[in-house]
Chain A
Amino acid sequence: DAGVIQSPRHEVTEMGQEVTLRCKPISGHDYLFWYRQTMMRGLELLIYFNNNVPIDDSGMPEDRFSAKMPNASFSTLKIQPSEPRDSAVYFCASSSSLAASSYEQYFGPGTRLTVT
């Protein structure tokens, strides 16, 4: 299996621009998670989906952030407009409720976002 795939790996943008991060979960996984990692705050859960439906978005920092999962193999995290404080590494992870160890989350390589 190719694992969780994220794109782009690096994104540099100017303040005020729209940023879209993409994620392809592991085939067959029914949970998808978006995290943000910074030195100050560590790894924070932003939102997670079950069977393409958002379950908990309480970690989304502001209305500037939105996430969608149009189908089981694709999700996006959008920031509009972006601000310098959004600079971080964004991870996507997936897991399967049917697996023996159903709470194991498998992470992608991350997208390093820099907003100037």
Chain B
Amino acid sequence: EDQVTQSPEALRLQEGESSSLNCSYTVSGLRGLFWYRQDPGKGPEFLFTLYSAGEEKEKERLKATLTKKESFLHITAPKPEDSATYLCAAGRGGSNYKLTFGKGTLLTVNP
């Protein structure tokens, strides 16, 4: 059975304090690893797709990386507006449209 585990469950940072979120996965024939951001009361918002180990993608203060067993979302010098729940999802081989989501990391950035 496909599994995606995110850690930590919650992370509290001071503004400017860089850190990383972890997503470990057990998926047969990974076809894509996805990161989403979810604000309270809203649907998940797509951030990145990573397809192969060693791949990196960046968007503003966020950088996502991928290895054969896990992905990291690095947050550099975060701001309060980066506060949200970050979700990781894995798409399996042969059916990339079917995603298995982790439970997310709730990030709080204090000013």
Binding site for B on A (CB under 8 A): 4, 31, 33, 42-45, 48, 50, 55-56, 91, 93, 95, 101, 103-110
Contact = CB atoms under 8 A, between A and B. Distances in A.
B22 to A, nearest CB: 16
A24 B102 CA distance: 26
B98 A107 contact: no
Interface of B: 31-32, 34, 36, 41-46, 49, 87, 89, 91, 95-104
Given A93-B43, A101-B49, A43 B96 contact: no
Could you tell me the dominant secondary structure of chain B's interface residues?
strand
A103 B43 contact: no
A100 to B, nearest CB: 11
A107 B91 contact: no
A85 to B, nearest CB: 18
Contact of A103 (B49, B87, B100): B49
Contacts of B104: 42
Contacts of B89: 43
Contacts of A45: 98-100
Please give me the 5 A-B residue pairs with the lowest Cβ-Cβ distance, nearest first: A107-B43, A42-B103, A43-B101, A107-B44, A104-B46
